[in-house]
Amino acid sequence: MSSPSASPTPNRPPLQGVRVLDLTRLLPGPMCTLHLADLGADVIKIEDLGAGDYASPAVREMLNRNKRGMRLDLKQAEGVQLLLQLCETADVLVEGFRPGVMARLGLGYDAVRERNPRLVYCSISGYGQTGPLSQKAGHDLNYCGYAGVADQVGTPTGELALSNLPMGDLLGGTMPAVMGILAALFDAQRTGQGRHVDVAIADGVLAHAVIPLAGLHSRGRVPAPGGDKLTGALPCYGLYPTQDGRYLAVGAFEHKFWDTFCALLGRPDLAEHHIPKTRELSDWVRREVAQAVQAHPLAHWAQLLDGADCCVTPVLKLDEAQQLPHFQDRGMWVQVQTAQGETMTQMAMPVQMSGYTFAVQRPAPLQGQHTREVLTAAGLDAAAIDVLCQRKVVG
């Protein structure tokens, strides 16, 4: 079956014509505006004239493709006025400062709304614009900690663990911001009235803690780390080391999948213990499965499992995932020529739809690369831009 993007309809980006002013840096905000840019929005990445967005070079390259870049000093009155002028023709503004900073600069929602009532103004912060913790500093792990989510990421032995996929920043910050912006933008197109979208990363990750909350409701207590069905309580769902130190991901929740897996293990006797009745029996089944898996290297299991319908897969490393034919067929990897002339492998946009084929139109901009272009389009002549550059209002 062909993918939706293979439709013969015209290739029209769904957010074509939408202009976004991006004042964010690091991960949650830039990832949010990356999704908007990949869907066709004209995203202008606005950085200060100092360090700007100080994300690592590789992260910066991946998160800021398909955007234009300018530098603007918002601590100068002229810089504030320039941003307000840009807001007049923008559809969305995304900022990630600590609550109150934009208002103190004269760029709060009320000030922007006076210039453009239809603009969608999204604020991404750790704990939100209101509440006792609103001014508290934090990072991904802190937000997950307060939300009771870090407590749920652990091993079957009960030890908490860290993830290299920042759940708070991405699940709690990026995706709620995208959702809120698109909903408010849809409404603004109908009514002419924008909204202030207040995204708290802690709120976002808390709102997705569905499984732990279900455990609290059904058992009257929060599942212990590593002790719920998704984190190690059941031998049919877990990670098992192979002979060469790699892992199998066993997700055989359904009895038919468990039966197939036990047969492949050469242990059909374990099939009757899909959901063990006691903790002792569960531990025994897990040890037996672990012993069987550890008897062979990952390559053996990958070959044996190829074509087997049992929800058991190898745990690949990211560079191996790049070579997986499935992701290649889905177009999930793109080669990007950076502004520095280097070639970089990046993930593609994860949404396919009819009438639009994703492409990288431009690499991540250098700091200030499009300042003159953006200001010229806003109505400033070359002489005025030269003066602003001399005064270090823009760069």
Catalytic residues: 139, 169
CB under 8 Å to 187, separation ≥6 — which residues?
A: 193, 195
Under DSSP, is residue 265 helix (H, G, I), strand (E, B) or coil?
helix
315 token code pair: 């745990």
Under DSSP, is residue 344 helix (H, G, I), strand (E, B) or coil?
strand
CB under 8 Å to 341, separation ≥6 — which residues?
A: none
**Range 251-271 burial, b when 16+ CB lie within 10 A, else e:** bbeeeebbbbbbebbeeeebb
**Helices H / strands E in the chain, number of each:** 17, 11
CA distances from 52 to 42, 303, 368 (A): 20, 48, 10
**Residue with tokens 């280097």, as numbered in its chain:** 342
The whole-angstrom separation of Cα 253 and Cα 212 is: 18
Distance linking the first and last C-alpha atoms of the chain = 49
